[in-house]
Chains A and B, each alone.
Chain A
């Protein structure tokens, strides 16, 4: 069975796009529609890669990313942020949360702006997990 790639996105069309790309490349896709569900699946399935949207119901990708990168057993899982939210906003928000007393978190391994081309997503996934 191929490596597991979790797609966390509330937009069903965006999830379908990523899942199709993942399947075509021989990976095993997992899906979550918000940050809360995403974290639950990450803990249960320990995926090899997470493709993460930011603006979602219940818990955003920004908070999920923090939870992931501050958890000893999960922080090595690479993350591809795939979002309409600008990378500089993501970095500024993490900085603000650190200033409010949160832990310092590293920058995400990969950042793609929506909508991503299928080739870009494939290349990024390959770069991340081979």
Chain B
């Protein structure tokens, strides 16, 4: 599972060239092609009463994006990297999926959603929708703010959070394919409080031992691929503990399998990958399960 081609989805305010530059370390692995995608949301140019379709506005937005892309592309071309671009009017998620298929991309990189909490509740967030519909991994980068930092080498020291789901096991394979870029992986499993509610200390220790053994097996597989790895068991709320683990171990990114939950389930019950992708300060790489 090599990353040869990435789809870099940007609305400029959320994801800039510094984020892209941070991903270029992937060239040591297999990266050779970057495709920029800018989707102009329909409501920005849609029919308005008394105005009609705002063609001039569409041209303005297209050319603004084009100028940025040309600037970025020049730097990448000069380094021998192949570059492509899409500037399209439409619905973000549909257009991204369409471009990913057309390009046969290996990874989608996107900035965090800009919808308000209320908008997200009623319409769902773009990130959640994209994670659910994409058949390839999705990496969620944090937005660019004045005070925000961009991790220079996100793939250098990832934290892999596993719940033993097929998708999280696939994430192990995925990281093994990046051995030329990854220096160290911290592999964590978050056990729930409920799992530790046994009647004796020994029972609780058994649970920890069982998880630790499974984690060590993952570390052994990574070690066999020449990737240094260390296992950790945490207890409590998964989203909070994953963040804590990332902070404690100085992670450069969080990697986890994405769930295949239905949209309404995620909206009402929530999902850990979604919560991390939406709220974490770390870049988050979500690996989907194998298609059924």
Binding site for B on A (CB under 8 A): 10, 34, 54-60, 62-63, 84-86, 89-90, 92-93, 96-97, 99-100
Contacts and interface: CB of A to CB of B under 8 A. Distances in A.
Interface in B66-87: 66, 69-70, 73-74, 77-80, 82-86
Contact of A58 (B66, B70, B84): B84
Contacts of B6: none
B102 interface: yes
B272 to A, nearest CB: 34
Contact of B77 (A57, A92, A100): A92
The CB with the most chain A CB atoms within 10 A, among B74, B77, B80, B99, is that of B77
Interface residues of B, number: 18
Contacts of B73: 54-55, 85
B277 interface: no
8 contacts: A34-B84, A55-B69, A55-B85, A57-B85, A58-B103, A62-B77, A85-B77, A93-B77
B192 to A, nearest CB: 45
B239 to A, nearest CB: 36
Nearest to A99: B80
A92 B85 CA distance: 20
Contacts of B70: 55, 84-85
B35 interface: yes
B78 A62 contact: no
A96 B85 contact: no
A111 to B, nearest CB: 14
Interface of B: 35, 66, 69-70, 73-74, 77-80, 82-86, 99, 102-103
A56 B84 contact: yes
Given A55-B83, A57-B84, A59-B82, 15 more contacts: A34-B84, A55-B84, A56-B85, A58-B84, A58-B103, A60-B83, A60-B84, A62-B82, A63-B82, A84-B70, A85-B70, A89-B78, A92-B77, A92-B78, A93-B77
Nearest to B76: A93
A82 B153 CA distance: 36
Chain A interface SS verdict (over half): loop
Contacts of A85: 70, 73-74, 77
Give 6 nearest A-B pairs by CB, closest first: A96-B80, A93-B77, A92-B78, A89-B74, A57-B84, A84-B70
Contacts of A55: 69-70, 73, 83-85
Given A55-B70, A57-B35, A84-B70, A90 B84 contact: no
Contacts of B79: 96
Which of B69, B79, B84 has the largest number of chain A CB atoms within 10 A?
A: B84
Q: Which of A85, A89, A90, A93 has the most B CB atoms < 10 Å from its CB?
A: A93
Contacts of B86: 57
A89 B77 contact: yes
A78 B81 CA distance: 25
A97 B33 CA distance: 13
Contact of B74 (A57, A59, A86, A96): A86
A92 to B, nearest CB: 4
A34 B85 CA distance: 11
A11 to B, nearest CB: 9
Contact of B102 (A54, A58, A93): A58
Contacts of B66: 84
